[in-house]
Amino acid sequence: MNTASKPVLGLVITDGVGYRNFVLSNFLKEANKYFSKIIIYTGLPKEVYTQLEINEKIEILELPVYRETSQSWFWRKFKEVAHLQLHKGFFGINDNLKGNYPKSNSNRSLVTKLIFGITNHFHSEEFIQWLERQQQRTISTQQTTKACKEILKKHPADLLFFTHQRPPYVLPLFTAAKECGIKTSAFIFSWDNLSSKGRMAATFDFYVVWSELMKKELLYFYPATPTENVKVGGTPQFEPYVLPKYSTSREEFFRRFDIDPELRTICYSCGDISTSKNDELYISIIAEAILRKQIDEKSNFIVRTSPAEAPDRFLKLKEKYPFIKWNFPAWYLARQDHPEPWSQRLPKPEDLRDLRSLLEYCDLNVNMCSTMGLDFMLFDKPVVNPVLGNENNGLYNDQRFLNFGHYENVVKTGATKIVTRQEELIEAINQYLETPGKQKEERKELVNMQIGVSLDRTSGVIASQLSKFCQ
């Protein structure tokens, strides 16, 4: 423990979403109450923090860029595929496993096929932990890890808090922390990461999770984890929705998007193209229904695209339906030529104001099984989930996402209207425009299940739990 009366926290910001969740929220302010100092070890360029109100108790250190070696890749891939094999009884994980099987015969693909063959027979939790140790052994000798170790020696912390548990580029700092005897903790990044995605990057000492449901999932998938080392803290992802600095008036919202304040407003929120390939179809269906007056009430129509991608794939729709208002998230690329370019995209504060205003003043949301459904439900707005694609009709098969572990709870609670045909989508929109209170209690049930701490207490609870990990 640090000799100061309060410990030192090392906050590891790996990407733009971590920046959004833990820098643009109230987390730094709350953490200042529990820690004598906060060191931000950042995978983003240091200059992205210059416009923020950083006080003297906060130090920012830029981490070296990690480029994975072939040897480290081999052990990581081995570990991840073994984890997927062990838990392939879960639909989402099995879907992920199938998607990882190579379609080519490149050298790396042939190695991956060999890994699949071995892990089909050997994939116990003990074997996976052995693979993880081999991976960390290869990382410990790399220059990036040695550089991280020097950083930690010169700027030590009592606890490192990784704001994302999955990306492999956290491993040099994690391995350096282990060698320096520094405790590690991780925040579970998203609601689908445990039951539908791959193995964590490493075995951390402590975890902060969204809810009791997520705690139960973590203890199931990582059975060696002591129960007392997993704490429920909610998620700061939604905290901007209760912070005054991100609020706008209703009048400002209608001016900002240049829409008619007398009409109801439909918002379609897109996923990224890797999992939400039918977005253009669903937007077109709604736009055509508005043109043909199949939607009973004349409505404004706003589309918010995913922050994870540029708006290119929607430009033809923008030209075809000029009455659609578009919200292209105000995220920017902080650094070029990075091995993980998606990690370098981060939001401007005005994007949080845009997003909150959409949630607060739109009347209903349409999305394909996105976490955005939770965002709208926090404002008690009804949500429609179109999943028109299946294995047989030639569309991208998005119906399979209904069987993923995290979305099964949405289906079971009945918190959204899930539609599998075009006419059902229009019917669901009409029903919600007429009676927006439908499924109100179901929405509340789902929110309480997924988010275990009220938004106004989230940062304080997380900071408090982290300080206890230092004891």
Task: State the DSSP string of 212-237.
Answer: HHHHHHHHHHSTTS-GGGEEE---GG
**pLDDT at 56 > cutoff 80:** no
The 10s digit of each residue's pLDDT in 107-153 is 999 999 999 999 999 999 999 999 999 999 999 999 999 999 999 99
For range 193-198, the mean pLDDT? 89
The 10s digit of each residue's pLDDT in 159-183 is 999 999 988 999 999 999 999 999 9
C-alpha triplet 353, 367, 443: angle, nearest 5°: 80
**pLDDT at 3 > cutoff 50:** no
- Bridge partner list, 350: none
Q: Are 383 and 367 in contact (CB under 8 A)?
A: yes
Q: How far apart are CA 263 and CA 393, in angstroms?
A: 35
**pLDDT at 374 > cutoff 90:** yes
| pLDDT score at 340 | 84
The 10s digit of each residue's pLDDT in 96-108 is 999 999 999 999 9
Indicate the pLDDT class of residue 1, thresholds 50, 70 and 90.
very low
For range 381-393, the mean pLDDT? 97
Indicate the pLDDT class of residue 4, thresholds 50, 70 and 90.
low
**pLDDT at 2 > cutoff 70:** no
CA 53 to chain centre: 25
The 10s digit of each residue's pLDDT in 296-355 is 889 999 999 999 888 999 999 999 999 999 999 999 999 888 888 888 999 999 999 999
| pLDDT score at 338 | 85
| pLDDT score at 297 | 86
For range 29-48, the mean pLDDT? 95
Helix (H, G, I), strand (E, B) or coil at 315: helix
Q: Are strands 345-347 and 331-333 parallel, antiparallel or unpaired?
A: antiparallel
Q: What percent of the chain has pLDDT over 70?
A: 99
For range 392-400, the mean pLDDT? 96
Indicate the pLDDT class of residue 225, thresholds 50, 70 and 90.
very high
R_g (Cα) of the chain, nearest Å: 23
- Roughly what angle, to the nearest 10 degrees, separates helices 405-413 and 440-450? 150
**pLDDT at 85 > cutoff 60:** yes
**pLDDT at 362 > cutoff 50:** yes
CB-count exposure of residue 99 (10 Å: 0-12, 13-18, 19+): exposed
Q: Sign of the C-alpha dihedral, residues 289, 290, 291, 294?
A: positive
